[in-house]
Chain A
Amino acid sequence: MTAIDTAIRAAAAEIDLIGVTKSYDAKNTIIPPIDVTLRPGEFTVVLGPSGCGKSTLLQMIAGLERVSGGKIVIGGREVQDLEPKHRGCAMVFQNYALYPHMTVAENMAYSLKVAGVSKAERAERVGTVAKMLGLADFLTRKPGQLSGGQRQRVAIGRAIIREPGVLLFDEPLSNLDAQLRHDMRVELAELHRRIGATSVFVTHDQVEAMTLADRILILNKGHIEQFDTPKAIYHHPASVFVAKFIGSPPMNILQVEGDGSVLRLADGQAVANYAGKGKFQLGIRPEDIAVNEGGSIKTEIRYREDLGSHEILETKIAEQNLRIAMPFGVEIDTTQTLSLSFPQTRLHLFEGESGRAIANAFGDAQPASVKEYQ
């Protein structure tokens, strides 16, 4: 480790949300009471569709939104009634929110200036952070003269310069183009490793969640659907919502009915053996479906998408959409009827009504790590 590596290093704080809730009036509850503990130094990604309350949750931690009830404890201190500046958090905003009338250096040093840090120390800290983020040549420029990626770096620099115990990110990469987003993702992961602050990162992009997170918190209408490691979420989704949200293309969900020994589709085709009775939802990932290996399920290709590395086949069984991912190099005759089989070990079973996962539905637990997420 060089000197730069250790120059900016935060004392990571634990974040406890205890029964935190947010509602604007009696009818509109954005976030029902939730309890979560984010470990010190952990990188948590809050993932969910728009309007699920993830940004509200972040703003409540930051102190930009008041909580309607419950406690927020950061580093052992109750902070829900404190001003943002007394919470020890720093935030990176989606649209950067840089001060357009200040130079890069002034932008980064502003929080120190407000805190009354001496000019000499401010310059030194700005120098360190700028070096770390590759901004040393741009210190006298205004944000308007920077590219999107550089602005994002300034926003990050402004956040980390105070060495906060908690770093909050509100969809910081969504304004960048695809290539830059990938590069910044890598940089952010590395930065987190160096600084070690407890990080909370809000996004609706599952790739960001899978690649950055130590643990992913999946929110649906303010409820926590699942809070676990990326691997666990991918391989053991706790609900249909999670199963459909993670993976590209997402997991296929089929409505099936159990007769006590097998699960059948609406048209009577048997797809799996299971001892339960009643309605269920059966999940299988597009890449887990075995094609033309002597399976009994018949279907026809409606559409194919060639993505280079793999191919997506759109099919239908029993009037339900089914996507199949074919690895590169497998030749498929699109005019022919496909025969499919669902390997028992790759199936996920969910309750018909609630959509909650039924653990170990098919005997042996599913393999922990069959395929690495790409």
Chain B
Amino acid sequence: MSSESSLFSHRWLPALLLAPMILLILLFFYVPVFQAFYWSFFLEQPFGGGSEFVGFENFQRVLGDPEFWAATGRTVVFMLTASSLAVVVPLMLAIAADRKIGMSYPARNILVWPKGIAGASIGVVFAFIFNPFVGLMAPLNALFPGLWNPGIDGTDAFTTLVAAHVWSGIPFNFVILLAGLRSIPPTMYQAAAMDGAGPWRRIFDVQLPLIMPQLFLTFVLEFTESITSVFALIDTITGGGPGGSTSLLVYKIYVDGFRGFDLSGASTQTAILMVFVLLLAACQFYFLGRRINYER
């Protein structure tokens, strides 16, 4: 066995090669993270002029604010619905594309395209698609006046956000899940067919168990990412409205900090959100990750 040290005999070369990356991560990730935590213990003047150590006062204030809890609740609902759909919809598409039904080759290509579109652009497009007067739902509104209006109805606005998020999540998850499905040897399906399992049964008994690693990956990424990546969509589609019904935590932090100039409150909420995301990912690995069978 050749050890790696025989390939890289120079002692400092590996460290030197790694340095730029480590520096970048430190500067743009860890420093802001620690800064957010640090600031959450200070009360910052809105227009500059020094800050004052206040201990846990910021946390008391934030946790005592019903608006914080409402935003957290909306974040959890969004996380559960949008993230689940953003995995399940691509999963269905991937299973269909894998089965070589008609047009599955061009579909595989086309389904990847949305990956190249920025979140804000998606937001603008969906704001138009779901516009109650000229969008997709306009004919329905003509038949049933008032049925759909995300500008007034909070649920409609929330639904628009979920739809836009699911749509933007399709390409990445579709590619990962399809790759998982393609790597299942065809004889596995033949064996299942000989064992008497029909196509539907094969999905649940063979395909899903065998793409568990891919499913787990997409779920973890979706759950943690949906919380923050939704910002661009909210900012362009709803602006948090109507009546704060689509103001998720990540958007509230932005509004509190940069519109309300409550920098300390925003820092505190950022710290709480980060801990929440970390705990979420840890739980997923702890409860799901260990049960996954990576054998092929």
Give residues in A with beta carbon < 8 Å to B.
59, 62-64, 83-85, 89-91, 93-95, 97-101, 110-111, 114-115, 142-144, 158-159
Contacts and interface: CB of A to CB of B under 8 A. Distances in A.
B187 A93 contact: yes
A97 B197 contact: no
Contacts of B155: none
A99 B194 contact: no
Given A91-B191, A110-B205, A142 B196 contact: no
Given A91-B191, A111-B195, 17 more contacts: A59-B190, A62-B194, A63-B193, A64-B190, A84-B196, A85-B193, A85-B195, A93-B190, A97-B188, A97-B191, A99-B192, A99-B205, A99-B206, A100-B296, A101-B293, A111-B194, A114-B197
Interface in B163-199: 185, 187-188, 190-198
A85 B196 contact: yes
B196 A114 contact: yes
Contact of B295 (A84, A90, A95, A144): A144
B210 A97 contact: no
B100 to A, nearest CB: 15
B185 A101 contact: no
Interface residues of B, number: 21
Given A97-B187, A142-B293, A84 B201 contact: no
Contacts of A114: 195-197, 201
A63 B201 CA distance: 18
Nearest to B295: A144
B209 A158 contact: no
A72 to B, nearest CB: 15
Given A95-B185, A101-B210, A85 B293 contact: no
6 contacts: A97-B185, A99-B205, A100-B210, A100-B296, A114-B195, A158-B191
Contacts of B295: 100-101, 142-144
Nearest to A94: B187
Contacts of B192: 99, 110
Contacts of B205: 99, 110
Contact of B188 (A83, A84, A99, A111): A99
A62 B295 CA distance: 28
Given A100-B293, A100-B296, A91 B194 contact: yes
Contacts of A89: 194
A144 B294 CA distance: 10
B267 to A, nearest CB: 46
A115 B201 CA distance: 12
Contacts of B209: 99, 101
Contacts of B191: 91, 93, 97-99, 158
Nearest to A64: B190
A114 B190 CA distance: 15
A85 B210 contact: no
A258 to B, nearest CB: 51
Contacts of B195: 85, 110-111, 114, 158
A91 B293 contact: no
B200 to A, nearest CB: 12
A350 B33 CA distance: 86
Contacts of A93: 187, 190-191
Interface string B272-296: 0000000000000000000001011
Given A97-B187, A110-B205, A90 B194 contact: yes
A308 to B, nearest CB: 36
B196 A95 contact: no
Nearest to B208: A101
Contacts of A143: 295
A85 B194 contact: yes
A111 B191 CA distance: 10
B196 A111 contact: yes
Interface string B54-70: 00000000000000000
Contacts of A90: 194
A98 B296 CA distance: 9
A121 to B, nearest CB: 16
Contact of B193 (A84, A98, A100, A144): A84
Contacts of B193: 63-64, 83-85
B89 to A, nearest CB: 24
B190 A91 contact: yes
A94 B185 CA distance: 12
B210 A115 contact: no
Contacts of A111: 194-196
A365 B198 CA distance: 55
Interface string B92-134: 0000000000000000000000000000000000000000000
Contacts of A97: 185, 187-188, 190-191
B66 to A, nearest CB: 46
A98 B210 CA distance: 12
Interface in B181-234: 185, 187-188, 190-198, 201, 205-206, 209-210, 212
Nearest to B195: A111
A201 B195 CA distance: 19
B295 to A, nearest CB: 4
B193 to A, nearest CB: 5
A164 to B, nearest CB: 9
A144 B190 CA distance: 20
A143 B209 CA distance: 15
Ranked 10 nearest A-B pairs via Cβ: A85-B196, A111-B195, A97-B191, A144-B295, A97-B187, A101-B209, A114-B196, A100-B295, A91-B194, A84-B193
B196 A115 contact: yes
Contacts of A142: 293, 295
Contacts of B201: 114
A158 B296 CA distance: 18
A159 B191 CA distance: 9
A104 B281 CA distance: 33
Contacts of A100: 210, 293, 295-296
Given A100-B210, A101-B210, A95 B187 contact: yes
